[in-house]
């Protein structure tokens, strides 16, 4: 009987430990920051190159939290020929454009659609339109709530250009 009790206790402890290990992998905040998440996705190569050229890597790897409306590679491909190359050669203008895609704080999809606009870290507002899908500053939101360790990414189909 004593051996059966020890076996039952050992089985219970093993089950508890396994359950805790499984839960441990799912209950914590994501391990990757905004930059590392974008790199891992494989669909933001142009955005990542632009972030590097503008000197914003350390900022977007920082504590945040940040909300990033991230144009995918297809969004950058829609720009007129030579635009990306020109922006990569002008880090100041590039930084202004990229920071127009970033909002301070963690704004999940429910927060975004509840607002009429959000103020970017660049200083201008992004209008939110939910009449036909969700549009941010005229860009269609393709995917929402990509959680990172320092914020959230929402994927958009257009590069947003701030007004001069």
Q: Any idea what the CATH number is for the domain that residue 46 is in?
A: 2.30.180.10
- pTM of the predicted protein model: 0.82
Q: How confident is the model at residue 25 (pLDDT cuts 50, 70, 90)?
A: very low
Domain assignment present for residue 50? The answer is yes
E strands, 26-114, are: 66-71, 102-104
pLDDT attached to residue 8:
32
The pLDDT value recorded for residue 164 is 78
Say if strands 151-156 and 139-148 run parallel, antiparallel, or are unpaired: antiparallel
Q: Is the pLDDT of residue 148 over 90?
A: yes
The domain in which residue 1 lies consists of 1-30
The length of the chain is 164
In the predicted structure, residue 91 carries a pLDDT above the cut 70: yes
Residue 28: pLDDT band with limits 50, 70, 90: low
Domain check: are 84 and 150 in the same one? yes
């Amino acid at each position: 009987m004593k051996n059966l009790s020890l076996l039952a206790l050992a089985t219970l402890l093993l089950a508890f430990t396994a359950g805790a290990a499984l839960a441990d992998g799912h209950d914590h905040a994501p391990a990757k920051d905004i930059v590392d998440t974008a790199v891992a996705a494989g669909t933001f190569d142009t955005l990542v190159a632009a972030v590097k050229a503008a000197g914003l890597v350390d900022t977007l790897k920082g504590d945040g939290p940040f909300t990033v409306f991230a144009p995918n590679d297809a969004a950058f491909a829609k720009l007129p020929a030579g635009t990306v190359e020109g922006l990569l050669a002008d880090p100041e203008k590039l930084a202004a454009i990229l920071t127009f895609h970033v909002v301070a704080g963690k704004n999940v999809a429910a927060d975004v659609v509840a607002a009429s606009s959000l103020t970017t870290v660049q200083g201008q507002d992004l209008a939110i339109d939910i009449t036909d899908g969700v549009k941010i500053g005229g860009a269609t939101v393709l995917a929402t709530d990509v959680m990172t360790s320092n914020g959230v990414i929402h994927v958009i189909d257009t590069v947003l250009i701030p007004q001069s």
